[in-house]
Structures are given as C-alpha cells and as structure tokens.
C-alpha cells in the first residue's frame, strides 16, 4: 500500500502535536510494509530526504506564513500530482487541501480533522467550501474525540465520520510511571507545548504570580518565546521561579514528566483540540489541569478523576486548582487515575491498527 500524508510541517524539526503524531503514524505504516511519503512546506528550497525508518519526506519552499499557515505554490502543485493508494490529509491546512482537491488521480482520500480554526476564522467564508468539498470526496473523516466529531465543520462528512482517539507515542512513555510523591518543596508544575497564542501561557504565568511555593518549567518553542522570556526576566514575581527549555529532546521531556508534580494545559481556544502533550504526561503519572474548551481536552482529562478542569482565561481559577494539587492525597489519587486512563485509552499500537483498518476499507 502506498500512503501519502499532506500537512504544513513535519517532525523533525517542528515538535508540535500533529507533526509528532504524523511522524509516529508514518513510521508505524512503514513498519507494516507500506510505502510512505510525507508532503509538507517549511523550507526555503524544495528538497526530499528519507528517514531511517524508510519514510520519505518531501519539503516544499514557502513564500511566507500568514495566520500560521504557509503560502507554498510548490506544495499545492505537488499535492495535485500525488500518486498513491491513500492520500491522508491533516486538517486544517488550506494550501495542502487545495492541491489535493485539484488532484484527480485514482486514490482514496482520508481526512484527519485535528482542530477547528482559531485566529484563522476570518478565512471561513473561503476555506469552508474547500473543506466541505474535500469531505464529500473523502471515504473516511477521522476525529480524535466525540466532541470534535460533532463539530459543525464536519457536517458535510455525513456517515463517513470515524472516531480515532490519538495514541501516546511509545517513545514518550517511561518504563515505569512516576510515583506521585509527597511534597517536600515547591509544587513542581510542567507545561509542554508550542509557545503560541492559543496555549494560554500568559494565563499560566498570571496564575503563578498569585502563588508562593511554585516552580514552573516550560518546555517548548514558538513565536512567543522572546516576549515570554522578557516578561519572566522583568517581572519580580516570576524571576527565578520559571525554567524555560526550548530545544528538549523526547527523552528529556519524559524525564521532565517523572520529575514534576502536575502538568498544566491552559489553552484559551478551540484550536486546542485534544491535548496530546497532556496525555503523554498523564501516561507517565502526572495529574493534569486543563481548561474547559468544549473540545477533546475535556475528554482526555476528566475532572476530579484524572485531574482538574478550570474555565479558560481565568488565572484565579487556575491558581486555585494548583493550590488543590498541593494536597498529597488528592494529587496521588488523581495521578493514579491519570496514568490508568492514559495507558489504557490512548494506546498508540491500537490507534495505528485502527487507522490501517480504515486505510484498507478506503482502498477496497
């Protein structure tokens, strides 16, 4: 089977949730004997390379980025000429989708609807018809949660929607989860993710300024790294309490899971559709605090079972939830629920088997 993935970026070098997921899925397909190609933008000069796992990455030159989306005519042209059994599109990605829609080859289309539009909502009048046309052509439209499967954008998919919860990559799971320990110092708080607007990192910093006895580690990179570093450096309530690591490896992130007390996902937009980084931390024994967005995050982190949920853009509520996590009994109970749910519900091998079953149905 020949499988082609189309998105805007790939991992490496971009360690975002979708890019890391796509890398894992491509590797799993290659291990199952498929020929796998990945088509992305993200470079100045078009080039191709083959990973050690046999997956071929084709990177196409982009002119610029607008609203976090690449403008890449070469990617449009390449997507319009893909020759494969399955073309797996990862949405939202208007440029890649435009090329795929122009492709009239004899292949099946599988769509993964990863998130609703965030600050790109102003494109909806133009992008909506394009997305609906693709959904009418697709054999399967995959959503990672029941909440996402009910998004209005999927109305054109009809009965072709399939639930496909993400799996936590095996490389992100420690051999033994962290044993939630009694606090003997500050509450060690962890954030892992891209430093972009919808992650709500400013809200997390606002919450920390209201508290004593908290140490926050921020693992990630993105367009907000410089202003966040400047705020931390100049705010006396934050200076010396925040650690920022922008180039951590997967192994270092796993070690961070094992050395912290709670993971926080303070996102402020429905662009946060699932919270895979949160699921990874939960699989390694961290209880979670997340915001109630009406997306898949509310399904990953169950309030008072695997962690706590708070309203978005509310630093007071977030600080109060962090205070609750100081209670050893509560934190240990939630940690047990988190690791149990993440390791049972979000198995990557099971996820890869599910996706390949959809591929076989689509290609039949």
Instruction: Give 5-14 pLDDT, tens digit per residue.
Output: 999 999 888 8
What pLDDT does 12 receive?
A: 87
- φ, ψ of residue 166 to 5 degrees: the values are -60, 155
Residue 83, pLDDT > 70, answer yes
What pLDDT does 310 receive?
A: 98
What pLDDT does 130 receive?
A: 86
Rounded mean pLDDT, 284-312: 96
Residue where the block lists tokens 């049972």 = 344
- Residues 223, 196: contact at Cβ < 8 Å? yes
When mean pLDDT is compared over 123-137, 167-181, 325-339, the highest value belongs to 325-339
Residue 255, pLDDT > 70, answer yes
What pLDDT does 121 receive?
A: 60
Does one domain contain both 18 and 134? yes
H or E, element range at 357: helix 348-363
Percentage of the chain beyond pLDDT 70 is 98
Residue 120, pLDDT > 60, answer no
Does one domain contain both 162 and 203? no
14: tokens are: 């971009």
Does one domain contain both 12 and 108? yes
What pLDDT does 24 receive?
A: 94
Does one domain contain both 270 and 143? no
Confidence of residue 123 (pLDDT cuts 50, 70, 90): low
What pLDDT does 322 receive?
A: 98
* Tens-digit pLDDT profile for residues 218-234: 999 999 999 999 999 99
Residue 345, pLDDT > 60, answer yes
Kindly give, in sequence order, each residue whose CB lies less than 8 Å from that of residue 99, ignoring residues fewer than 6 positions away.
6, 75, 76, 77, 78, 79, 80
- Residues 235, 242: contact at Cβ < 8 Å? no
Does one domain contain both 226 and 185? yes
Q: For residues 223-240, b (16+ Cβ closer than 10 Å) or e, as one string?
A: ebbeebeebbeeeeebee
Residue 283, pLDDT > 90, answer yes
Higher pLDDT, 246 or 122: 246
**Domain count across the chain:** 2
198: tokens are: 């919808």
Kindly give, in sequence order, each residue whose CB lies less than 8 Å from that of residue 260, ignoring residues fewer than 6 positions away.
188, 189, 190, 217, 286
Does one domain contain both 99 and 192? no
Q: DSSP letter string over 73-129?
A: HHHHHHHHT---SEEEEEES-HHHHHHHHH--SS-EEEEEE----SGGGGGHHHHHH
Does one domain contain both 244 and 315? yes
Does one domain contain both 131 and 38? yes
- Show the domain range for 307: 170-345
- Residues 274, 295: contact at Cβ < 8 Å? yes
Does one domain contain both 243 and 288? yes
Does one domain contain both 290 and 312? yes
Global confidence as pTM:
0.81
- 126: domain CATH number is 3.40.50.2000
Does one domain contain both 156 and 214? no
Rounded mean pLDDT, 141-162: 91
Expressed in percent and rounded to 5, the helix, strand and coil fractions of the chain are: 40, 20, 35
- Residues 107, 127: contact at Cβ < 8 Å? no
Does one domain contain both 159 and 224? no
* Tens-digit pLDDT profile for residues 170-210: 889 998 888 776 788 899 999 999 999 999 999 999 999 99
Q: What average pLDDT does the structure give for the chain?
A: 93
Rounded mean pLDDT, 46-69: 92
């Amino acid at each position: 089977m020949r499988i082609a993935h189309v998105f805007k970026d790939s991992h490496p070098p971009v360690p975002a949730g979708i890019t890391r997921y796509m890398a894992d899925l491509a590797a799993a397909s290659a291990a199952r004997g498929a020929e796998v190609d990945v088509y992305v933008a993200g470079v100045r000069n078009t080039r191709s390379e083959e990973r050690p796992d046999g997956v071929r990455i084709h990177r196409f030159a982009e002119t610029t980025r607008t609203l976090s989306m690449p403008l890449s005519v070469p990617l449009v042209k390449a997507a319009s000429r893909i020759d494969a059994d399955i073309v797996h599109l990862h949405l939202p990605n208007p440029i890649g989708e435009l090329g795929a829609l122009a492709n009239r080859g004899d292949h099946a289309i599988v769509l993964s609807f990863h998130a609703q539009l965030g600050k790109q909502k102003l494109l909806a009048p133009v992008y909506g018809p394009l997305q609906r046309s693709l959904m009418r052509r697709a054999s399967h439209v995959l959503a990672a949660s029941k909440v996402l499967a009910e998004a209005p954008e999927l109305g054109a998919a009809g009965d072709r929607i399939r639930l496909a919860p993400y799996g936590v990559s095996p490389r992100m799971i420690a051999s033994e989860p962290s044993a939630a320990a009694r606090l003997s110092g500050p509450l060690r708080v962890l954030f892992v993710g891209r430093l972009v607007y919808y992650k709500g990192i400013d809200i997390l910093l606002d919450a920390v300024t209201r508290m004593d006895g908290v140490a926050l580690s921020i693992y990630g990179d993105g367009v907000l790294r410089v202003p966040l570093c400047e705020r931390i450096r100049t705010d006396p309530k934050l200076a010396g309490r925040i650690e920022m690591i922008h180039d951590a490896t997967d192994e270092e992130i796993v070690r961070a899971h094992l050395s912290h007390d709670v993971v926080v996902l303070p996102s402020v937009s429905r662009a946060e559709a699932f919270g895979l980084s949160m699921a990874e931390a939960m699989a390694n024994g961290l209880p979670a605090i997340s915001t109630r967005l009406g997306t898949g995050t509310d399904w990953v982190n169950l309030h008072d079972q695997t962690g706590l949920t708070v309203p978005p853009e509310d630093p007071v509520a977030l600080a109060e939830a962090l205070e609750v996590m100081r209670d050893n009994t509560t934190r240990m109970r939630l940690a047990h629920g988190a690791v149990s749910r993440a390791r049972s519900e979000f198995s990557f091998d099971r996820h890869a088997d599910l996706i390949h079953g959809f591929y076989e149905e689509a290609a039949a």
